[in-house]
Amino acid sequence: MSELASESSAQRELASESSAQRGEAIAVSGLRKSYGDHLVLDGIELHVPRGTVFSLLGANGAGKTTTVKILSTLIAADGGRVAVAGHDVATDPDAVRAAIGVTGQFSAVDNLLTGQENLQLMTDLHHLGRAAGRARVAELLRRFDLVDAATKPASTYSGGMRRRLDLAMTLVGSPQVIFLDEPTTGLDPRSRRSMWQIVRELVAGGVTIFLTTQYLEEADELADRIAVLDHGRIVAEGTPDELKRRIPGGHVLLRFATLADLESATRAVGHASRDGDALELRVPHDGSLRSLKALLDRLDTDLVEVEQLSMHTPDLDDVFLALTERKVTAP
């Protein structure tokens, strides 16, 4: 290896270690990837704290799977730095692989084997040893509610059972970081909720989840932070609430007991739309605590009695459309 190459590899190791010291499970900077002359990732920046759920959103073809493939060492990047669990994916891919689990659209479940046999296969692959392997299989079958189905072939499992088995198989290696690629696509609402509960329990146990999903409701439920990928760039990043506040449409709805109260409130608030029949006032609002307090202070100063107050924020669908539409329609 040339001096220059080994120096840059040492620098990479240092950068990975310092990201791990900052408590980051995933640190990505300047990530670039093209397929031929098609630029897919154009300098991506991502920082995922340990023990959190991070969701990457993007329209079909935005580059989500490409990002997951690079982060999980399946393909190489053209440029930039990627550290996962404190290891550089380019210089230390084996250490990254030992620290991660990947589950999703392409399940690792073998249909001809039973749930128990699938899990045993994983404990053998991880060289857990006979007794420890058996104990781990029993624990995972219990935890994932698969005890009754343990001796049935996986081909007879429902979609939800199969996803649970797939995730249980990933957990045999006790990964620190799990890439969940569309974990609930095609599942019924009950199975989806049970999967969400499992994800929450994993995170409570310190695991970091990198989630891609086509259900924005799922990102809203699970993710601590969300990044929106569009045309190879991260166009927005923040908590679900921060993202919702970035687009217009949020408002506070005030309901009053009498028309007199409604009229006093209209004078006190100024810019608002009122519905005299429903005795309601709709006040545009950015969702922040500070402007809510300012609004309540104004009503309080004018001694206006509010019967009911509710806040309405745009949902992630609105955010996603607002953030990605502009670029799609741009010339």
> What does the alpha-carbon distance between residue 26 and residue 40 come to, in Å, rounded to a whole number?
20
Q: Measuring CA to CA, which residue among 33, 20, 23, 185 is closest to residue 104? A: 185
65 contributes a contact to ligand ATP by CB under 6 A: yes
Residue nearer to ligand ATP on the CB measure, 40 or 137: 40
Residue nearer to ligand ATP on the CB measure, 38 or 127: 38
Residue nearer to ligand ATP on the CB measure, 2 or 60: 60
Residue nearer to ligand ATP on the CB measure, 35 or 201: 35
Residue 328 DSSP class: H
Which residues from 33-62 bind ligand ATP, rule CB under 6 A? 35, 38, 40, 58, 60-62
Residue 146 DSSP class: -
CB of 75 to ligand ATP, least distance (A): 8
Considering only 27, 31, 48, 64, the residue that binds ligand ATP (CB under 6 A) is: 64
Considering only 27, 63, 70, 172, the residue that binds ligand ATP (CB under 6 A) is: 63
Does an H or E element contain 63, and which? none
CB of 222 to ligand ATP, least distance (A): 18
CB of 89 to ligand ATP, least distance (A): 16
What is the greatest pairwise CA distance in the chain? 82
> What does the alpha-carbon distance between residue 219 and residue 199 come to, in Å, rounded to a whole number?
12
Residue nearer to ligand ATP on the CB measure, 40 or 140: 40
Q: Measuring CA to CA, which residue among 12, 45, 14 is closest to residue 28? A: 45
> What does the alpha-carbon distance between residue 321 and residue 56 come to, in Å, rounded to a whole number?
15
Q: Give me the residues that bind ligand ATP (CB under 6 A), please.
A: 35, 38, 40, 58, 60-66
